[in-house]
Amino acid sequence: MPRKYVAGNWKMNLLKEEAEQLVRTLSENYTANPDVECIVCPPFPWLTQTKALLGETGIQLGAQNCAATEKGAFTGEVSAQMLASAGVRYVILGHSERRALFGEQGAVLLEKTKRVLEAGLTPIFCIGETLEERNAGKLEQVISHQLQEVLGHLSLPEVLNIVLAYEPVWAIGTGVTASPEQAEEVHTFIHGWLTKTFGSEASNVSILYGGSVTAENASGLFARNHIDGGLIGGASLKPADFLKIVNAW
**From 116, 151, 162, 213, residue interacting with ligand PEP (rule: CB under 6 A):** 213
Q: Which residue is nearest to ligand PEP (CB)?
A: 233
CA distance 67 to 80: 7
What is the size of the binding site for ligand PEP (CB under 6 A)?
13
For the question of residue 95 being annotated catalytic, the response is yes
C-alpha pair distances (Å), 121 with each of 113, 117, 125, 151, 223: 9, 5, 12, 16, 28
Is residue 9 a contact residue for ligand PEP (CB under 6 A)? Answer: yes
For the question of residue 145 being annotated catalytic, the response is no
**From 42, 94, 211, 229, residue interacting with ligand PEP (rule: CB under 6 A):** 211
Q: 46 exposed, middle or buried (CB, 10 Å; 0-12, 13-18, 19+)? A: buried
Binding to ligand PEP in span 147-186, by CB under 6 A: 167, 172-173
**From 2, 8, 94, 210, residue interacting with ligand PEP (rule: CB under 6 A):** 210
C-alpha pair distances (Å), 220 with each of 7, 38, 55, 75, 183: 17, 19, 32, 44, 11
223 and 180 in contact (C-beta within 8 Å)? Answer: yes
Quote the DSSP letter at residue 248: -
Beta bridge partners of 165: 126, 208
Is residue 231 a contact residue for ligand PEP (CB under 6 A)? Answer: yes
Is residue 233 a contact residue for ligand PEP (CB under 6 A)? Answer: yes
Quote the DSSP letter at residue 3: P
Annotate 112-168 with DSSP letters as a single string. Answer: HHHHHHHTT-EEEEEE---HHHHHTT-HHHHHHHHHHTTGGGS-HHHHTT-EEEE--
Dihedral pair phi/psi, residue 39, rounded to 5°: -130, 140
Nearer to ligand PEP, 109 or 202 (CB): 109
Determine which one of 97, 104, 167, 184 is catalytic.
Answer: 167
Determine which one of 95, 187, 191, 226 is catalytic.
Answer: 95
Nearer to ligand PEP, 198 or 222 (CB): 222
Is residue 80 a contact residue for ligand PEP (CB under 6 A)? Answer: no
221 and 213 in contact (C-beta within 8 Å)? Answer: yes
CB of 134 to ligand PEP, least distance (A): 16
Question: Which residue stretch of 12-20, 21-29, 141-149, 231-239 sits at the interface with ligand PEP (rule: CB under 6 A)?
Answer: 231-239
Is residue 65 a contact residue for ligand PEP (CB under 6 A)? Answer: no
Catalytic residues: 95, 167
Interface residues toward ligand PEP, by CB under 6 A: 9, 167, 172-173, 210-213, 231-235
